[in-house]
Structure 1
Amino acid sequence: MAGEIAAAGGVVWRLRDGVVEVALVYRERYGDWTLPKGKLEADESARVAAHREVREETGARVALGRFLGRTGYLLGADHKVVDYFAARYLDGEFVPSEEVADLRWMPVPDAVARLSHDRDLPVLAAFSALPADLTTVLLVRHAKAGSRAQWEDADELRPLSRNGEKQVPPVRELAAVYGAERVYSAPLVRCVETVRPVADDIGVPVVEEELLAERKYEGMADAATRRLAEIAAGGGVSVVCSQGGVIPDLVTRVAADSPVSLPRRVESKKGSVWALFFAGTHLVAADYIRVP
């Protein structure tokens, strides 16, 4: 019986003399030039798999960016589906292997001409549709906290529950594959606890932002939206943790004058992440990521 093979990969890019170049790999076994990709391991998310496979096939350490699309094709009796993400080159050197014999960096038009499979063309087209060098904001809803009814102290001191603590490692892992550089949080224990491991990993403080807390956001939504835009304008990759009473409205406001089409109901499950991508202060892409 035919099955489905889940895989993930990336459009690995760098700026060289002001020109965006992307990396193609040559697989001697298949005699083709293609984008780096590979199968998901057990219990692995597509983003983590893309990050790992890019490193294994190209030697590059990358910071993931926006989702670029999914391709599908028959592989023997199975159907292989591949999720692709933009992937900014940070460092690392290519070493030939049994799987990948060669790697070439080239401008996108040259890569389009070199690709062996037409199924890869829409992925490069999606990559080229927006500027490569975007700012990333990972807007995180805090992980599950203990029962409010059973908590006798001030609500802002309520910590994560055991189930909430289990949601923290996936958030930490996502922050790593996106290349987090700064960390912000509403000044609530459960918010700070959700992202403190990220801050510890990269050696930065958690900057507390009162406007991101529900009690301050109500009546000050415009100011909070401006503050998120300021964080985006700082460039790089920021992790921002807030609450369920803030995130759907904040995402809607940020997307109001952008090309991003949001669902009618903007989700924000506990422990989930909105990956927001900005050109300056202008939102140009957004991916919603559910965390187990």
Structure 2
Amino acid sequence: MSKSSSDPAGALYDPRVSANILAAGAVLWREAADGGIEIAMVHRPKYDDWSLPKGKLDPGETPVVAAVREVAEETGLRSRLGRYLGHVTYPVTGHRKLKRVDYWAAHVLDGAFESNSEVDEIVWCGLDGLMDALSYPMDRSIVRNFLRLPADTDTLLLVRHAKAGRRERFSGPDEERPLEKAGRAQAGNLVPNLLAFGATEIYSAPPLRCVQTVTPLAEALGVDVKLDPLFSESGYAAAPDAALARARELGSDPAVQVISSQGKVIPGLMETWAARDGLSLPPARNRKGSVWVLSLHHGRLVAADHLDRILISPEISRV
């Protein structure tokens, strides 16, 4: 395969180069019998190579959703995404095209492998020998990114509410200002992306626009949205330390929690949290409908990945 480049989570990414083929994949892992971990490699008979599971995005699909789908199609295994691991970019042999593949950590949930048209074999490797067994340096760079932090992290999804009508155009109490048409579309689009990270329980600031942002997800899961005033602008302003303690508590739960909050809460909460845990955050516009994917290990924030509202361009931060 041709020489590749990658973002800061890998090696040398040239931002001036724009890819015209988009794909997504994962470092698929599971617990080993000896207490360690094993990582899946797939064999593709078309290329006679051993690689990480990956594949091209379907039309209108996000990399997040594609990563889970491709893992399932190639391995037969259902998985839950965790940390973002970076991307690789490389020219496609025989074409004047550039391919970009985004990768996430993915923990196996269930399922069973069956040989298919793309993959005829899957092998679970311990860390010894894995790098030598992979066919491509770019896969090895992604695995190295995975190994820089513990595999078994807890996930918290922090969502800024979707687009609502302008405050000055709404005659009622601001707490009751609803999502506009574009915001309702954003709320619907969030559902498959949040489910890809294993979202199971939902908390929201009380304003209606915050609740409406996660209502489609709640309906998909069959759960209630639990209100928490600490994540509202007034609640956070009155007790920022209590809000951070609550977010840390929710983030340390093995179940994947979702918090829907507001624009004057999330930046301050993230900056304080990251500073206390020694994490440098990437620049993030904190636009409506965007998501922070937070990874915690033993209660400490170890990674923060920002998905912009279109959920196309992840920005990454690492300790």
Task: Work out whether the TM-score is over 0.5.
Answer: yes
Matches for 1:52-131 after TM superposition, within 5 Å:
52-76=69-93, 77=95, 78-131=97-150
Letter in 2 for 1:227: R
**Cα shift at 1:266:** 4.1
**Can you give the 5+ residue segments of structure 2 that lack an aligned partner in the other structure?**
1-17, 311-319
**Cα shift at 1:113:** 2.3
TM-superposition CA deviations, 1:30-70 (whole Å, max 9, x none): 11110000111222211111111111111111111111011
TM-superposition CA deviations, 1:263-288 (whole Å, max 9, x none): 3x542111110111111221100111
Query: What's the counterpart of residue 297 of structure 2?
Result: 279
Equivalent of 1:183 in 202, 215, 218: 202
- What is the alpha-carbon distance in structure 2 between the residues aligned to residue 275 and residue 3 of structure 1? 24
Query: What's the counterpart of residue 7 of structure 1?
Result: 23
Alignment pair present for 1:197 and 2:216: yes
- What is the alpha-carbon distance in structure 2 between the residues aligned to residue 153 and residue 253 of structure 1? 33
Identity fraction in percent: 44
- What is the alpha-carbon distance in structure 1 between the residues aligned to residue 90 and residue 166 of structure 2? 47
TM-superposition CA deviations, 1:64-112 (whole Å, max 9, x none): 1111011122321332221111011111111111211100112122322
Worse-superposed segment, 2-11 or 224-233: 2-11
Equivalent of 2:67 in 50, 53, 57: 50
The residue matched to 2:61 in structure 1 has which SS?
A: coil
Worse-superposed segment, 27-36 or 112-121: 112-121
The residue matched to 2:210 in structure 1 has which SS?
A: helix
The residue matched to 1:204 in structure 2 has which SS?
A: coil
Alignment pair present for 1:227 and 2:275: no
Letter in 2 for 1:207: K
Letter in 2 for 1:43: G
The residue matched to 1:152 in structure 2 has which SS?
A: coil
Letter in 2 for 1:7: A
Q: TM-score, normalised by structure 1?
A: 0.95
Query: What's the counterpart of residue 315 of structure 2?
Result: none
- What is the alpha-carbon distance in structure 2 between the residues aligned to residue 181 and residue 108 of structure 1? 31
Letter in 2 for 1:273: V
Query: What's the counterpart of residue 51 of structure 2?
Result: 34
Query: What's the counterpart of residue 218 of structure 1?
Result: 237
- What is the alpha-carbon distance in structure 2 between the residues aligned to residue 73 and residue 161 of structure 1? 40
**Cα shift at 1:14:** 0.9
Query: What's the counterpart of residue 12 of structure 2?
Result: none
Do the aligned partners of residues 3 and 291 (structure 1) sit closer, same or farther apart at CA in structure 2, a change above 3 Å counting? closer
Alignment pair present for 1:148 and 2:167: yes
Query: What's the counterpart of residue 157 of structure 2?
Result: 138
TM-superposition CA deviations, 1:117-165 (whole Å, max 9, x none): 1111111111111111111111000011122112222211111111110
Letter in 2 for 1:249: G
Letter in 2 for 1:30: Y
Alignment pair present for 1:261 and 2:280: yes
Alignment pair present for 1:244 and 2:263: yes
- What is the alpha-carbon distance in structure 1 between the residues aligned to residue 252 and residue 198 of structure 2? 17
- What is the alpha-carbon distance in structure 1 between the residues aligned to residue 202 and residue 131 of structure 2? 37
